[in-house]
Structure 1
Amino acid sequence: MPKNARPWTMITLAWLVAIAATLGALFIGEVMGQIPCTLCWYQRIAMFPLVAILGTAAYRGDPSAWRYALPLGTIGLTIAAYHSLQYAGLLPPPIVPCQTTGPSCSSTGMLVLGIPIPYLSTAAFSGIVLLLLPLARTRS
Structure 2
Amino acid sequence: MQKKYYLYASWFVALAAMLGSLYFSEILKLPPCVLCWYQRILMYPLVLIIPVAILNRDEKGHSYVLPLSILGGCVAFYHYLLYIKIIPDTLAPCSTGVSCTTRLVEWFGFINIPLLSFIAFVVITLLMIIYSKTKENE
State if a TM-score over 0.5 links the two structures. Answer: yes
By percentage of residues, which structure has more helix?
Answer: 1
Q: What is the CA distance between 1:134 and its match in structure 2? A: 2.0
2:79 corresponds to 1:79: no
Query: Could you tell me whether the CA contact under 8 Å between 1:8 and 1:63 is conserved in 2?
Result: no
Give the structure 2 partner of residue 28 of structure 1.
24
Correspondence for 2:6: 10
- Give the corresponding residue for 2:106: 111
Q: 2:63 aligns with which of 67, 79, 88?
A: 67
Q: Is the 8 A contact 1:105 1:117 kept in 2?
A: no
Q: Distance in 1 between matches of 2:6 and 2:53?
A: 11
Q: Secondary structure at 2:119's aligned position in 1?
A: helix
Residues 14 and 120 of structure 2 are in contact (CA less than 8 Å); yes or no, is this contact kept in structure 1?
yes
Moved more, 7-16 or 58-67: 58-67
**Alignment-derived partner of residue 50 in structure 2:** 54
TM-score using structure 1 length: 0.85
Alignment: residue pair count? 134
What percent of counterpart residues are identical?
A: 40
Gaps of 5+ in 2: none
- Please, what TM-score do these two structures have when normalized by structure 2? 0.86
Q: Give 5+ residue unaligned stretches, structure 1.
A: none
Q: 2:96 aligns with which of 97, 101, 110?
A: 101
The whole-number CA distance in structure 2 between the counterparts of 1:74 and 1:112 is: 25
Distance in 2 of aligned mates of 1:43 and 1:118: 9
Q: Is the 8 A contact 1:8 1:62 kept in 2?
A: no
Contact residue 85 and residue 91 of structure 1 kept, 8 A? yes
What is the RMSD of the two structures over their aligned residues, measured on CA atoms? 2.0
